[in-house]
Amino acid sequence: MQIRVKCSCGQGNCPEWAIVELQGMVEAQPSFKGQLQNLEIGQLCRPSAQENYTFTVGYHELTGSKVPLKKPLLVLKKMSHMEADQSSDLKSSRVELEVIGIIRHRILFKTRPKALISRPQPVVKERVSVQGSIVPNQLA
């Protein structure tokens, strides 16, 4: 079997995707479990001209920076084309991979979160876990 890797964007025109990466997990409050669509995760902020960023999730702030990837990442999308086989009733599907984007940078947060305000906090269950208090997005 041969799967062609297709690309309709051509060199130089590949849409750039972005990655925001942090250690551990973001957990939504239990009431939003399974209904994450449109929920706001946090605010990404670039406080100065340097490539330093903060990411505020709930009452926590992460500090990180924009890192160029050593090697680019391609975003591939698996496409299945159903083909009616003339010789039989069986439908065979032909799979193709389409290049739909490229990633050259990520904004990486590798520090532990800092509490923004002091107020009684529930005990954080996991050490690496960013206890995200996610509020429903206003627009949703």
Q: How many CB atoms lie within 10 A of CB 24?
A: 15
- In the complex with another protein, the residue whose CB is nearer, 100 or 119, is 100
Cα separation of 126 and 105, whole Å?
A: 28
Which residues of the chain form contacts with another protein (CB under 8 A)? 1-7, 9-11, 14-26, 36-50, 53, 55, 69, 71-79, 97, 99, 101, 103, 105-107, 137-140
| Min dist. Cβ of residue 55 to another protein (A) | 7
Q: Which residues touch 39 (CB under 8 Å, ≥6 apart)? A: 28, 32, 134, 135, 136, 137, 140
- Cβ–Cβ under 8 Å, residues 109 and 21: yes
| Min dist. Cβ of residue 120 to another protein (A) | 26
| Min dist. Cβ of residue 81 to another protein (A) | 13
- In the complex with another protein, the residue whose CB is nearer, 78 or 119, is 78
Cα separation of 66 and 128, whole Å?
A: 21
| Min dist. Cβ of residue 132 to another protein (A) | 10
